[in-house]
Structure 1
Amino acid sequence: MSNTPLIVMATDSMVPSGVGEHMLTLAGAISSTHEVALAFPPHGDGVRFLVRGDAAGFETVALDEAFPKWLTARRPAILHVHAGIGWEGHGLVEAGRIAGIPIVRTEHLPYLITDEQQKSQHRMAAGLADTLVVVSDSAAESYRAEGFDRLVTIRNGIDTPIVRHPRGDTRETLALPDNARLVITVARFAAQKGHDCLLHAAAEVTRQIPHVVFLMVGDGPERETMQALTASLKLANIAFLGQRADVPDLLAAADLFVLPSLFEGLPIVVLEAMALALPVVATRIGGTLEALGSDHPLLVPAGSPYSLAGAIVAALANGPGSRTVGIRGRARFEQRFTAARMGRETAALYQAMRKRVCLT
C-alpha cells in the first residue's frame, strides 16, 4: 500500500473543455509527489477526458450514482472539485463532506451568478469546502466583492505545447496561399467568447488585408449561429475547424492569435499562444489582462469590433513589432505561468490542509 497521498480531482461540468485540460495538466504537475485519480461525467465531452486521463496513466472514475460510495471506500487525502462556472460542483462538494474528506474547490471563472437562488446554493456549497481557490487575482476580487474571504489564488499554468509538424507543412495541409496572413482563435462557441465581435471585425480586416484567413477552432452551442453570421457578412475567408487534436501545430502555423472574450478566469489558450511566442490580440478583461500584462500593446475593449479590427490590422502590418510582442509573451509565460509553478503551489496547499487535519 503506497504512502503517497491520493488526490481525487473531479468536475461535473457537462463540457469540461478548459477545466478538463487544467485538471490533466495539474495531475501531471503533481504526479511525482501525489497519486491522482480523475473523475469526469461518463457522457459527452467527459468521456474524452476519461480516455485521456487513462492514457496518461491516471486512475479514472466515472461520475455516476456509484461515485459517493467509491469516494467513501477510496478515502483520498483531498477531494479537489473544479467548477467551470458557479453552479457546478455542488453535489461533488456535498459528497466529499458526507465522506469526511478535506475539500478544495477551484472556481475557474470570476463570480458571475445573478440569480438569488443560485447565489444561495453556491454560497452553501462553497461554505462546505475547506479551501476556495481562484485562478487569477481579478477573479479573487470578484469573489471578495460578494463577501467571500479565505480565498487562495493559484494562477493557471501549462506545459509548453508540443508542436509536431513544421509550420510550412501545417499551412500546406490547410491549403493556404503563400501570402496568406493567418489569424486563429481557439475557443468554445459560447456567447462569453465574443465570436460575433470577431466576425464583424474580420469583415473590416479583410477589406484592408484581402489575403487574411481566419481559423475558428472549437465547437459549442453558438457555432451554427456564427456560421450563419459569416454567410450574412459574405466572408469567404473564415474556416470553422471544429474540435482539433493538433492545436499546437495550428498555433505555430498562425501569424496572430485573437481572443475577444467578454470575461475569463485565466484563459489557458492565451498561455498556449504565449508559450509559442505567438502574438496575441485580446480584450482588456480579467484574467486575460493578468496573463498578458497591463502593458501589452494589443489589448482592446470588450465588445468593440472597430477596436478589435484596428488591433488585428496593426499587428499584421507590423511583422517585426509583433514578433517582439510574441517573444516578450513567451518570456512572461516562462516566468509566471508554467505547469511546474502551478503544481508547486497546489502541492503546498494540499500539504498545509493535511497538516491542519492532523492537528485537529
Structure 2
Amino acid sequence: MTEDPRLIVLATDSAVPSGVGEHMLTLAGVLVPTYGIVLAFPSHGDGPRFLARAADAGFETIALGEHFAAWVRSRHPALLHVHAGIGWEGHELVEAGRKAGIPVVRTEHLPYLITDPEQKSRHRMAATLADALVVVSDAAAASYRAEGFIHIVTIRNGIDVPVARRARSETRAALSIPEEARIVITVARFTAQKGYNSLLQAAATVSSQLPQTVFLLVGDGPEQTAMRALAASLNLSNVAFLGRRADVPDLLAAADLFVLPSLFEGLPLVVLEAMALAIPIVATRVGGTVEALGQDYPFLAPPADTSLIAAAIIKALSDRLASRVIGIRARQRFEERFTAARMGREISALYRATMERMCEA
C-alpha cells in the first residue's frame, strides 16, 4: 500500500453530475494549491464529459468502476470526499473509503427527499459510515435534522465569477435577437424539479403583456420534448430551446432577467452565477434559493404558482432601474457569502479536522 498524505479524491457516482460536477470542478480548483486532487466520475452517462473537463484542467482522473475500491486501497489518499446529487447516490463510494481505512466526507447537494423505507435505511447506513456529513444550505440541514440526523455541517456552495467572452450585443446578434428585446433566461436541466411547466405557462401571461420578451431555455434533460410540446400548445413563438451550451456566461450577460422556477433546491449554482453577474433574478421561494438571495428579496414567488411567477417576471422587467439596483445588491451579497474561495477555506478546515480525528483515533 502506497500512502499519499496530501491526496484528496473528489468522487460522484451520479450518471448525470450536472451541478454536482460543476461544484466538484470548482472545489478542485480552489483546493489544488494545498492538496493533490483526483476527480472521479462514472464511465457512463455524462461522466466522460466531466472526466474530460477535469483532465483538460490538469487534474488526475479516474473513471469509476469495480476497480475503484482496489484503487483507493492502493493509493490510500488522505481523504475521500463523496458528492451525492440525490440521497440514493454515493453509498458504494463511502463504503470503499471506509473499508480502505481513510477519512470520508459526504456532501448532500439536495434536501432530504427519500421516501422509500429501504432507500432510507440504505442511506442512513452510508451516511453513518461517513466521518462528516455536509449539506450545502441551512434549509437542507433542516430537512436532514427533521429525519433525525444530528451531526451535520453546513458549507454553502460557492463559485468563481463567470466570465463572458462576448459583448452583450454580439451574443444577441448571434441569436438574432434585437437589442430592444427583453431577454429572460433559464439555465437548468429539463426535469420535474426545475419547474419548466410553470415557467412556460407564466411565459404565456408575460408575453401577452410584454410582447417584446424573449425566453431562452438552456439545458437538456428528459422533459425537454414535453416542454417543447407545451410551448407549441401555448403558441409561444418567443421561446427558444437552446440545449446544452458552452457559452452560458455570454448568454447570462446578454439577458435582462434570470428565472429559476424550481420546486426544490439545495443551493443552486446558477442562481449564484446570475448574482455574480448582477443579473436580476426571479425565483421560487424554496430552500437554498432563498438562502442565496435573502428572505426579503423582492422577486420571489411560491413554487408552481404560475400567476405569481408571471407577476414577478412582469414586475422585474417593467422597472429596469429598480431591477438593476436589485441585481447590484445581489452581486454584493454574492461577494460577501458565496465565493469559491470562501467555500474552499471552509472545506479545507473540515478536511483538516476530519483527518486529525482519524489520527487521534
TM-score by length of 1: 0.99
Deviations 1:313-339 (A, max 9, x none): 111000000000100000000000000
Pairing of 1:230-245 with structure 2 (within 5 A): 230-245=231-246
Pairing of 1:52-67 with structure 2 (within 5 A): 52-67=53-68
8 Å contact from structure 2 (residues 4, 75) kept in 1 = no
Which residue of 1 is the match for residue 355 of structure 2?
354
Which residue of 2 is the match for residue 345 of structure 1?
346
How far 1:66 moved relative to its partner?
Answer: 1.2
How far 1:3 moved relative to its partner?
Answer: 7.2
One-letter amino acid matched to 1:253: A
Which residue of 2 is the match for residue 311 of structure 1?
312
Deviations 1:239-297 (A, max 9, x none): 00111110000000000000000000000000000000000000011000000001111
Give yes or no for the alignment of 1:95 onto 2:100.
Answer: no
Distance 1:164 1:117 in 2: 48
Pairing of 1:206-221 with structure 2 (within 5 A): 206-221=207-222
Which residue of 2 is the match for residue 290 of structure 1?
291
Distance 1:149 1:77 in 2: 25
One-letter amino acid matched to 1:289: V
Distance 2:196 2:116 in 1: 26
Deviations 1:135-178 (A, max 9, x none): 00000000000000110000000000011111110011010023
Which residue of 1 is the match for residue 87 of structure 2?
86
Give yes or no for the alignment of 1:274 onto 2:270.
Answer: no
Distance 1:2 1:183 in 2: 51
8 Å contact from structure 2 (residues 218, 245) kept in 1 = yes
8 Å contact from structure 2 (residues 4, 77) kept in 1 = no
Give yes or no for the alignment of 1:13 onto 2:14.
Answer: yes
Which residue of 2 is the match for residue 203 of structure 1?
204
Pairing of 1:156-195 with structure 2 (within 5 A): 156-195=157-196
Using the TM superposition, name which of 331-340 and 64-73 deviates more.
64-73
How far 1:44 moved relative to its partner?
Answer: 1.8
Distance 2:316 2:204 in 1: 16
How far 1:354 moved relative to its partner?
Answer: 1.2
Distance 1:359 1:98 in 2: 18
Structure-2 change in CA distance of 1:329 and 1:108 (3 Å): same
* SS of corresponding position for 2:179: coil
Which residue of 2 is the match for residue 72 of structure 1?
73
8 Å contact from structure 1 (residues 256, 316) kept in 2 = yes
* SS of corresponding position for 1:142: helix
How far 1:4 moved relative to its partner?
Answer: 6.1
8 Å contact from structure 1 (residues 4, 33) kept in 2 = no
Which residue of 2 is the match for residue 41 of structure 1?
42
Which residue of 2 is the match for residue 139 of structure 1?
140
8 Å contact from structure 1 (residues 38, 53) kept in 2 = yes
* SS of corresponding position for 1:5: strand
8 Å contact from structure 1 (residues 4, 35) kept in 2 = no
Which residue of 2 is the match for residue 111 of structure 1?
112
One-letter amino acid matched to 1:260: P
Give the number of equivalent residue pairs. Answer: 360
Distance 1:160 1:178 in 2: 25
One-letter amino acid matched to 2:133: L
Which residue of 2 is the match for residue 247 of structure 1?
248
8 Å contact from structure 1 (residues 217, 242) kept in 2 = yes
One-letter amino acid matched to 1:241: L
Distance 1:170 1:179 in 2: 14
One-letter amino acid matched to 1:16: P
Deviations 1:22-78 (A, max 9, x none): 000001111111111000001221111000100111110000111111111111111
Distance 2:324 2:180 in 1: 17
Distance 1:99 1:3 in 2: 13
Distance 1:76 1:195 in 2: 42
* SS of corresponding position for 2:77: coil
Distance 1:188 1:315 in 2: 24
Distance 2:247 2:72 in 1: 35
Distance 2:133 2:324 in 1: 38
* SS of corresponding position for 2:150: coil
8 Å contact from structure 2 (residues 161, 277) kept in 1 = yes
Question: Structure 2, unaligned stretches of length 5 or more?
Answer: none
Distance 2:217 2:223 in 1: 12
Distance 2:108 2:4 in 1: 29
8 Å contact from structure 2 (residues 3, 75) kept in 1 = no
TM-score by length of 2: 0.98
How far 1:2 moved relative to its partner?
Answer: 10
